[in-house]
Structure 1
Amino acid sequence: MLLKEITIQNYRKFKNESFSMADDVTLLAGANNSGKTSMINFIGSIMQNGKTPFLISDIPVKLSKQWVDEVYDIFMSCFNESQDTLSTVESIVNKLFITELTSLHSDVIIPTTSIRFKIDYNANDDIRKFADFIMDLNPENKSFYFEYSFRPTKISFGQALEDNFNKLYTRYKKIKALEDPTSKIDQFKEILLSIYEASILEKCYFSDSDYIDKVEIEVSVFRRLFNFKYINAGRPLDDQGTGNFKSLSKNMIELATHNEKLGPLLENLPDQILSPIQDAKIIDEVRDVSVKSLSDAVKTIDKASGGNTGNIIIDIDINEDTITSLLNQITNTKYQYEGYFLNESSQGLGYSNMIYILLQLETYKRKIDPLLVNLFVIEEPESHMHPQMQRVFGKYLKDYYLQKKIQGLISTHSGEMVRLTEMKNLRVSRPLDHLESKIYDFSTFKESLSGDTTLDTFYDWFYEIGFSDIVFADRVILYEGDTERLLIRKLLTLDTYEELSQKYIAYVQVGGAYAHKYSKIINFLKIKTLILTDLDYKKDAVTIEAVEESETTNATINSYYGESKRDKISYST
């Protein structure tokens, strides 16, 4: 079972974004504040146990503001009718939600926040746990479709409105009493949004491929279809500065407990430990020192409380849990180097981060269930690592996922991680503005090059040189030589270009014969780009007159201007 596609609608910065999942590792790259972390957290909270945290702030700001501005007049008009609480609530709800009398109108609510999952299987997969969710009986369609949504119902909204009615009505009366009620109107709208938040229900469905014909299922049933593990960027590492100790040792013990040889040893160990403790009469001494003296005081007090306290005794309970706890306390991870033993924290957080992730992967590998969708997610594995270490570890991670046949999703803002990833496995989250982001699926971009062997080869060749910078850039400058780059750097120090200097600019050195080949990626990512290139007149033009009559031989100029002018541009132009 493999997760093949995710579609996210109306969640924070994402309006309606889809991206495919690779069979091995999908890399989600993006700059800070591009939305990638919030999206991964959202996916993780849906696939794990417990109520998914969902707030009004998780709804795109444009949608929530549009809704509250639209329904304000509806609420005010219903309050103006001066009915009792229940009648006013009913009147408002009937205006917002479809009823028999208003069946020609759609609900006046915020568009649903949802996330959709397409799960594929092949002929050899055991689909017993998914069999109940087959919607399409076409044997050629080997996919399951699920939708997880967040929206209010007529009943839940009515209940939330009734619970907050007095607070809302108080603001209404103040608005009517003031000549300039602006601040009270804002407060009124804030309460409306809090009512909306309180009314949101999470629901899950399996559906057809168009997500139209849907059947509701229990959230817990949906979650049992996934074996999901998520390592977030705030993972615990051994750091004496924060009081975090022996995190690697604890994870090594956790990994060892899954070993089939360790189980029988742990079962016999409690009796082996208990026997010498009893022989040494340690418990008897403890009783004499503590329990007996304490019992005398208890008996004295007991007389005043009715004599129902009972006697104090002391006993030893040793089991597998206490043994594991003991192992955690007495085990220390150390690094041996040239005869010296260094503590766990001696190698720095970057190294500890790497070991921690590897331990989590090894533990997860032992829990893989072929009947489920197994997905291992890592947020920013490059944390605390210098570039060379990022590169080596990134390559190891890529190979590990592939060899162990683990489907993974990795988020990153590391250029080194991007360089290591095949283009077809790359997904990029980029902000369109402060309120909206878009996800660019490079598997579709790679497919678009398949008919052009030359261009496909070009992107494979130049992928590691300047491509990763373009992925994260706000602007791109293509230039031919170091002189141009030095000039641009100097210009950006001028006050005139202060705004531009604050943006992340990708400098890509490429000759004029090749710069136009970047047009595909520039257009795909919709990045504003400046190209600095030579005019390149014909080599046999050796006089001023011949140069002026010459046409440019620069492929980039001819490509861009030629397309718009449908003619070659002369040098004199």
Structure 2
Amino acid sequence: MKLSDIINFKHISARRDVTNKETDKTLSLQTSKIYEKKETEESEREKIEEFQDTIINTDDELSKIYESFFEDIISKIKTLGGIKENDSVLSVLSTLQSKELLKGNTTVFYKHDIHDLPEQFNGLGYLNLISMIFEIEIKKYEFQKSLLEVPSEINLLFIEEPEAHTHPQMQYVFIKNIKTIVGNAIEKQIKNTAGTNNVLSKSLQCLISTHSSHIVADSNFDEIKYLRKIGSKIESRNLKELKFLYNKKIGTMIF
């Protein structure tokens, strides 16, 4: 048994790639990653097959248009010496089905009044929040592991400083909804010996590091830990223990 069979760590860094630059398509690239993860899911098979059928049909339709569009040029090529009629005939075909369509070819838009605006037109804080949600979904698929692998017994997701670039209201929104967004289990469909699917469920725990009083203020008091450095060591305590520490007359404590 490997250590990764027992415990699995995933990490969302405070340094995220979200910007307001016109060339930035962080959210769009994340949608591509989510598609890649969903592509192997048995529960998504019907949608994936529909998507692939649509691409094949689109290839057929585009190829007909290309044939008409390039007809004159191909006719001129046929007149070249050394090429017999109906021998080495050139054609221009659509090959969308052989490309990674979503990678670099989708753009996330958001609606403002009646207009659809590209992602970089949105506020940096809101982009950061959406990007975190997308990244959480990607990590949850990574926790499931590959098609033939079983998820680890213990799964830990670390989110570093989610308050980056966000104003207090969005920090409240994040912490109020994070448990629902992350969930508390990693579920994966596993085929048994009879060929039917069973749902395998493993626990998922989320740990958030933050400097935000807004995030801490709306958290469950019993779930908060504080850290302080003492010499070369880091001391960790449950916040609920402060009551007992302050009741002891041990002098002034600085946190």
- TM-score by structure 2 length? 0.65
Structure 1 residue 286: deviation in Å?
A: 9.4
Whole-Å separation in 1 of the counterparts to 2:216 and 2:151: 32
Whole-Å separation in 2 of the counterparts to 1:332 and 1:379: 26
Equivalent positions of 1:111-130 (< 5 A) are none
Deviation per CA, 1:108-136: give whole Å up to 9, x if none: xxxxxxxxxxxxxxxxxxxxxxxx4xxxx
Letter in 2 for 1:341: D
Asked if 1:265 is matched to 2:50, the reply is yes
Letter in 2 for 1:347: N
Tell me if the contact between 1:429 and 1:437 (Cα under 8 Å) persists in the aligned partners: no
Aligned to 2:229: 431
Deviation per CA, 1:22-69: give whole Å up to 9, x if none: xxxxxxxxxxxxxxxxxxxxxxxxxxxxxxxxxxxxxxxxxxxxxxxx
Query: Of the candidates 130, 135, 147, which is equivalent to residue 355 of structure 1?
Result: 130
Query: Of the candidates 205, 213, 216, which is equivalent to residue 415 of structure 1?
Result: 213
Whole-Å separation in 2 of the counterparts to 1:375 and 1:397: 14
Tell me if the contact between 2:162 and 2:210 (Cα under 8 Å) persists in the aligned partners: yes
Asked if 1:346 is matched to 2:125, the reply is no
Tell me if the contact between 1:228 and 1:376 (Cα under 8 Å) persists in the aligned partners: yes
Tell me if the contact between 2:155 and 2:204 (Cα under 8 Å) persists in the aligned partners: yes
Tell me if the contact between 2:62 and 2:94 (Cα under 8 Å) persists in the aligned partners: no
Check 1:283–1:399 CA distance in 2 against 1; reply closer, same or farther (3 A cut): same
Q: Could you say which structure has the higher helix fraction?
A: 1
Equivalent positions of 1:282-301 (< 5 A) are 282=67, 285=70, 288=73
Check 1:229–1:315 CA distance in 2 against 1; reply closer, same or farther (3 A cut): farther
Check 1:249–1:281 CA distance in 2 against 1; reply closer, same or farther (3 A cut): closer
Check 1:280–1:321 CA distance in 2 against 1; reply closer, same or farther (3 A cut): closer
Aligned to 2:24: 245
Alignment root-mean-square deviation, CA = 4.0
Higher relative contact order (CA 8 A, sep 6+): 2
Letter in 1 for 2:110: Y
Aligned to 1:527: 254
Whole-Å separation in 2 of the counterparts to 1:324 and 1:393: 28
How many residues matched?
Answer: 215
Check 1:314–1:429 CA distance in 2 against 1; reply closer, same or farther (3 A cut): farther
Letter in 1 for 2:107: N
Aligned to 1:207: none
Check 1:353–1:524 CA distance in 2 against 1; reply closer, same or farther (3 A cut): farther
Percent identity between the two aligned chains: 24
Tell me if the contact between 1:256 and 1:262 (Cα under 8 Å) persists in the aligned partners: no
Aligned to 1:19: none
Aligned to 2:60: 275
Asked if 1:388 is matched to 2:146, the reply is no
Deviation per CA, 1:235-286: give whole Å up to 9, x if none: 121421xx54232233234334514443102332342122123323449939
Tell me if the contact between 1:266 and 1:320 (Cα under 8 Å) persists in the aligned partners: no
Whole-Å separation in 1 of the counterparts to 2:252 and 2:34: 42
Q: Flag structure 1 segments of 5+ consecutive residues without an equivalent.
A: 1-131, 133-220, 297-311, 450-454, 457-516, 529-573
Aligned to 2:33: 254
Structure 1 residue 397: deviation in Å?
A: 1.2
Aligned to 1:379: 160
Deviation per CA, 1:327-356: give whole Å up to 9, x if none: x42x33222233343332233111011111
Aligned to 1:319: 97
Tell me if the contact between 1:249 and 1:332 (Cα under 8 Å) persists in the aligned partners: yes
Structure whose alpha-carbon radius of gyration is higher: 1
Q: Residue 164 of structure 2: SS of its match in structure 1?
A: coil
